[in-house]
Amino acid sequence: MGLNTSGRSSGSARQGEGSGFLFSGASVGTGMVTKPPPPSNCNAGIGLRLPHVAEIVATRPHLGFLEVHAENYMAETAALDRLLELRPDYPVSIHGVALSLGSAEELDRPHLGRFKALIERVEPVLVSEHLAWSTVGGAYLNDLLPLPYTEESLEIFCRHVGEAQETLGRRLLIENPSSYLRFRHSTIPEAEFLTETARRTGCGILCDVNNIYVSATNFRFDPIAYLDSLPAAAIGEIHLAGHHAAENVDILIDDHGSRVALPVWELYSAALKRFGAVPTLIEWDTKLPPLTILLDEARHAQELADVHRHAQFA
């Protein structure tokens, strides 16, 4: 072969995920916050993913917000430059995936510092994290692992949420997980665990409707009852995503890689009735489709929110 003495490649900087919107004026540590009036304009958003950035820059689709995973923007990369370019035209929601608020061990202070620096750069409308953990003994397991819902874990989780909110100077929204196992020594229902966290720390709740559907199917509980037991005033955002059935076992897996399923849309309508038209994200992180598919899903979410709004004011 001919000897090539130089090479070049574009787009090699890696980017993961995407998801979000928000609500403003909430303060930390004051318990429940009052709900803002329903936004009159678009409140459906999509995750910003590297393969879609150029098209979004060129076509500026009508969207309520863009959501990004915090950990993909913590280095001085071209991806961050692009996000900052889009920032004047779109509210941004920052969704953290690696703070590991549910770890028994202390929070990672340097990571929290990077998170704070990113918030100062991007000035997001919403900042969210998970009711989960991912780090123990210095190993980051890159998954949102389940917590036992006990008084011990509630105390630890609330302490970490409080510390994070204090350091970040922002109210966090905490997302309910999708679950594939339950611990025998759990004593607190998940929705109650979230509610109590919001009460103690003043955090809001990111209600992932697909996660509720997946967990409710896996553990045979009533998803409507779960929705009903969340404090409506604390809900600051909704996530919608796809799921699939696991092979050979009777379990649904949250996959962020397919269209929102019909029963999840139905549950979303129930959530709108209960929580109002809060910012809603189409979350799609794997097997990324063309941008038009995401926009189509966001449009459907917007239509359902508009139906709800009109019904409310009719």
Partner 1 sequence: MRKSSPMSIDMPSLLELQLQLRRAVLGGDGAGLVAAIHGDGLDPAVRLRIYRNHAFAALGAVLESTFPVVRRLVDKRFFAYAAHEYLREHPPHSRLLAEYGADFADFLASFEPCADLPYLADVARFEWALNMAATVREAAPLPIEALAAVPRENAACLALRLQPSVGYFASGWPIDTIWQANQQSEVPMVDLASGGTTIEIRRADEGFSWQRLDPGAFAFRRALAEGFALAAAAATATVEDTAFDLAAALDRIFAEGLAVGLGAC
Residues that bind partner 1 (CB under 8 A): 1, 3-14, 16, 71-72, 74-78, 81, 98-100, 103-105, 108, 111, 133-143, 145-148, 150, 152-153, 156, 180-185, 187-189, 192, 218-220, 246, 249-251, 253
Whichever of 120 and 303 has its CB closer to partner 1, that residue is 120
Whichever of 11 and 169 has its CB closer to partner 1, that residue is 11
User: For the CA atoms of the chain, what is the radius of gyration?
Assistant: 19
Whichever of 145 and 269 has its CB closer to partner 1, that residue is 145
CB 240 within 8 A of CB 260: yes
Whichever of 14 and 310 has its CB closer to partner 1, that residue is 14
CB of 113 to partner 1, least distance (A): 12
Query: Strand 126-130 to strand 65-69: parallel, antiparallel, or no bridges (unpaired)?
Result: unpaired
- CA gap 107, 161 in Å, rounded: 10
CB of 11 to partner 1, least distance (A): 5
Whichever of 180 and 270 has its CB closer to partner 1, that residue is 180
- CA gap 194, 269 in Å, rounded: 21
Whichever of 221 and 269 has its CB closer to partner 1, that residue is 221
**Burial group, residue 266, by CB count within 10 angstroms (0-12, 13-18, 19+):** middle
Question: What distance lies between CA 233 and its chain's CA centroid?
Answer: 18
CB of 114 to partner 1, least distance (A): 8
CB of 109 to partner 1, least distance (A): 12
CB of 153 to partner 1, least distance (A): 5
CB of 307 to partner 1, least distance (A): 35
**Bridge partners, 145 (sequence order):** 133
Residue 171: partners with Cβ closer than 8 Å, 6 or more residues away: 26, 27, 28, 33, 127, 165, 202, 203, 204, 236
CB 130 within 8 A of CB 177: yes
Whichever of 75 and 307 has its CB closer to partner 1, that residue is 75
CB of 75 to partner 1, least distance (A): 6
- CA gap 139, 47 in Å, rounded: 27
